[in-house]
Chain A
Amino acid sequence: MELIAEHPVLDASCFKRGEKVEFTFDGRSMDGYEGAPIAVSLHANGIRVYRETPEMKRARGFFCAIGKCSSCFMVVDGVPNVRTCVTPLRAGMRVETQHGRGRAAITAMLSE
């Protein structure tokens, strides 16, 4: 992971890092820290493209990192349009690139 190794002000304990956990991105297994935002965890693995826009098919990464701009929408455990910059990573999460608007699983909605 692309992590800061040495810092003149902050030591490793200052960084918000929970337990090391595994998750998948488009089927590939990756490591991350529990509780850190999904988008941050992907960035640490060198992944910077999170979705593709509906019409122009433009790549999107994150921009604001505070849940305000919707640039970082992805499909997480089957749920589309998740703001990955403010959604904490959990062990075993299935994270996928979102193509277009994303579709909600109709069956999941009906069973609620």
Chain B
Amino acid sequence: MTDISTDILVVGGGPAGLSAASEAASYGARVLIVESDLQLGGQLVKQTHKFFGSRDEYAGTRGYKIADILLSEIKENEQNVKVMINTTVTGYYSEDRTFTAMSGEESYMCIRAQRAIVAAGASERLIPFPNNDLPGVYGAGAVQTLMNVYGVVPGKRVLMVGAGNIGLIVSYQLMQAGVEVAAVVEAMPKIGGYWVHAAKIRRLGVPILLRHSIKEAVGERVVEGAVIMELDDKFAPTGQELRMDCDVICMAVGLSPTTEILSQAGCRMKYVPELCGLVAERDRAMRTSNPDFWSAGDATGIEEASAAMVEGRIAGLCAADSLGLPVKMTKLDEYWTRLDHLRAGEVGSKIRAGIDKVYRDKWEVRLDG
């Protein structure tokens, strides 16, 4: 078993992790980024559309190009950054302050880090229905990986479940890839995503069926179709059903923060519906109740890439500071101004309410130092 040591371990190489690594490395910290995917960039590499968000965080640029920008920024401090792809952080042993990781399928290692920034993003949810395990029932992320990263056609005709931003955007991306979208079904009485995205696919003739959900997937060994059903005000089936042909059922029913490592590290966690799941309590530095752990991005609550990048910078800056490196702490106020700006107004109200529940002004003094 190999042993590796580093100043700061960054778990996850998406926009949050890359920003954290870049920030910390720019002040001289030795950083190791561990990413389980075959490339860096997280969700960004799968996104072909122009991003919303703030100017400072490259709004208007296509997702996969934002990943390139972050990677070139990392290059500037290359001497301080080590990257391991196709490697998953699998556990943390607090007694030894050691992480375990698995590279590929059969090679294991120990990582000793003084500090850790967990930016592990999110995982997709699935909803229960008969045959939801049939091949062809795919997460939206999987469909995006197939078509946008590797250029493989995911199917001929897709039923999209969920009309939030992800469901709408992926529907449009499917059409760009030449795939037919049979319909988008949404259990809620209104579209969850931005109106522009809905308008785009409606214009192309795709029906968005509100108050509808999937009843079951149809098929013997693979998906051959789906039965969809109408729902009433109380989300109970009205009895109206429709069978449609499709070879892919794409699930875009939400994400949950990935936080297992933080739980293992004993960070104080709380279930916050507004942030879509179990997340760590954090202070202004994005530090958790375990003084060696920071967190940033979707792992701290499902939000968006702009905020993930700023949170990553905050975590990187403060983790470097905690190592005694000469950092520009005035940056912290600047980053918070950007975050407040991103979370302002009606759209940000849910996120703000969620963060209020896990934000701590300061941690009580710890006896074990």
Contact = CB atoms under 8 A, between A and B. Distances in A.
Interface of A: 1-10, 12, 14-17, 33, 35-37, 40, 43-44, 48-50, 58-68, 71, 76, 79, 81-83, 85-88
A64 B140 CA distance: 8
Contacts of B222: 48-49, 59, 61
Interface stretch (B130-138, B284-292, B324-332): B130-138
A88 B150 contact: no
Nearest to A8: B176
27 contacts: A4-B153, A4-B178, A7-B151, A7-B176, A7-B178, A9-B48, A14-B64, A16-B149, A17-B150, A35-B38, A40-B152, A43-B152, A43-B154, A44-B150, A48-B135, A59-B222, A62-B138, A63-B139, A65-B145, A66-B36, A66-B123, A67-B36, A67-B37, A79-B106, A85-B142, A87-B105, A88-B86
A40 B150 contact: yes
Given A4-B177, A4-B178, A9-B48, A59 B106 contact: no
Interface in B136-172: 136-139, 141-142, 145-154
Task: Choose among B48, B64, B141, B150 the residue with the greatest number of A CB atoms under 10 Å from its CB.
Answer: B150
Nearest to B124: A64
A109 to B, nearest CB: 11
B104 interface: yes
Contacts of B176: 7-9
A66 B141 contact: yes
Contact of A2 (B104, B138, B152): B152
The CB with the most chain A CB atoms within 10 A, among B38, B39, B142, is that of B142
A82 B106 CA distance: 9
Contacts of A81: 105
Contacts of A43: 146, 152, 154
A86 B48 contact: no
A3 B138 contact: no
Nearest to A42: B152
Contacts of A88: 38, 86
Q: Please name the 5 residue pairs, one residue from A and one from B, whose CB atoms are nearest each other, closest first.
A: A61-B135, A65-B142, A15-B151, A48-B135, A65-B145
A43 B152 CA distance: 8
A7 to B, nearest CB: 6
A31 to B, nearest CB: 13
Interface residues of A: mostly helix, strand, loop or mixed?
loop
Most buried by B among A3, A5, A79, A86: A86
A30 to B, nearest CB: 13
Contacts of A40: 145-146, 150, 152
A68 to B, nearest CB: 5
Given A16-B39, A48-B222, A62 B142 contact: yes
A68 B221 CA distance: 22
Given A4-B178, A9-B176, A10-B148, A86 B37 contact: yes
Nearest to A14: B64
A6 B178 contact: yes
Most B Cβ at <10 Å: residue of A17, A43, A87? A43
Contacts of B64: 14
B36 A86 contact: yes
Nearest to B251: A63
Interface string B338-364: 000000000000000000000000000
Interface in B92-124: 104-106, 123-124
B139 A65 contact: yes
Interface string B51-92: 000000000001010000000000000000000001010000
Given A40-B145, A83-B105, A3 B48 contact: no
A49 B221 contact: yes
Contacts of A79: 105-106
B139 A4 contact: no
A82 B142 contact: no
Contact of B136 (A2, A5, A9, A61): A61
A81 B102 CA distance: 14
Contacts of A87: 104-105
A27 to B, nearest CB: 19
Given A17-B151, A66-B36, 6 more contacts: A7-B151, A7-B178, A15-B151, A44-B153, A64-B142, A65-B145
A63 B151 contact: no
